[in-house]
Amino acid sequence: MSETSAEDRIWTVPNLLSFLRLLGVPVFFWLVLGPKADGWAIGVLAVAGFTDWLDGKIARAFNQTSRLGRLIDPAADKLYVFATVIALLLREVIPWWLVVIVLGRDLFVGCFGPVLRKYGYRALQVHFLGKAAMFNLMYAFPLLFLASHSGWYAEIARIVGWAFALWGAGLYWWAGVLYVVQVRQLVAEARRG
């Protein structure tokens, strides 16, 4: 019998953290739109952000990277961004144009997925710029959510939240453009080969 390669592992601590993060997406959505339990919703976002950082640290430190992890980690990030922007739009915390900028980038990049598969490639490695963009957005949304409440912290949260949101959206698009450039280079190499 052959041993399962390290890349094919499923049951690792980083993958467990990513699965837990995935389970938090509907919980967050329900908390924001159902009972409007904003404190709990912000807590879910904070835990999601922390576990996103932690699963990557553990994966690298203990050699627990896997194919599954490279799929579910960014999927969880995307689902959190999607759920958060939709929930905050419906609660009138963020404007529609920010939602268009963030989700439009995902649609733009998603159009190149079939091109990659046509040439035998799977999803590309997540770029550092994409991680930086996601970091900014994962901090922006809870801060903007806090800014929608009254309290001494609201104005500070609004200023810092918008700084993270605008910087994150810019980096998100920049990472998307780099992704498309990378796809074009891979396709050109495949055609030459």
Q: What whole-number distance in Å separates Cα of residue 172 and Cα of residue 27?
A: 25
pLDDT at residue number 138: 85
pLDDT at residue number 34: 94
Amino acid letter for position 82: F
Q: Which residues of 42-63 are buried (b: 16+ CB within 10 A; e: fewer)?
A: bebbebbbebbeebbebbeeee
Q: Which of 10, 71, 75 is nearest to 48 (CA)?
A: 75
Using DSSP, state whether 30 is helix, strand or coil.
helix
pLDDT per position as a tens digit, 61-87 = 988 888 888 888 888 888 988 999 999
Q: Which of 126, 107, 167, 172 is nearest to 143 (CA)?
A: 167
Q: Which residues contact residue 121 at a Cβ distance below 8 angstroms, ignoring those fewer than 6 apart?
A: 186
Q: Which of 31, 38, 76 is nearest to 157 (CA)?
A: 38
pLDDT above 90 covers a percentage of the chain that reads 54
For the chain, the average pLDDT equals 89
pLDDT at residue number 2: 43
Considering its fold, how many domains does the chain have in total?
A: 2
Listed residues 49, 67, 92: the one ending a domain: 92
Residue 102 and residue 130 in contact, taking contact as beta carbons nearer than 8 Å: no
Which stretches within 34-127 are classed as H helix?
A: 38-61, 67-90, 96-110, 113-118
Q: Are 75 and 19 members of one domain?
A: yes
Q: Are 145 and 178 members of one domain?
A: yes
pLDDT per position as a tens digit, 5-41 = 667 788 899 999 999 999 999 999 999 999 999 999 9
Q: Are 115 and 138 members of one domain?
A: yes
Structure tokens, 94: 């963020």
Amino acid letter for position 180: V
Listed residues 76, 92, 108: the one ending a domain: 92
pLDDT at residue number 1: 40
Q: Are 83 and 102 members of one domain?
A: no
Neighbours of 29 (CB within 10 A): 20
Domain that holds residue 123: 95-193
Structure tokens, 20: 């837990």
Q: Are 11 and 85 members of one domain?
A: yes
Q: What whole-number distance in Å separates Cα of residue 140 and Cα of residue 161?
A: 4
pLDDT at residue number 88: 94
**pLDDT band at residue 101, thresholds of 50, 70 and 90?**
very high
pLDDT per position as a tens digit, 125-167 = 778 898 899 889 988 999 999 999 998 999 999 999 999 999 9
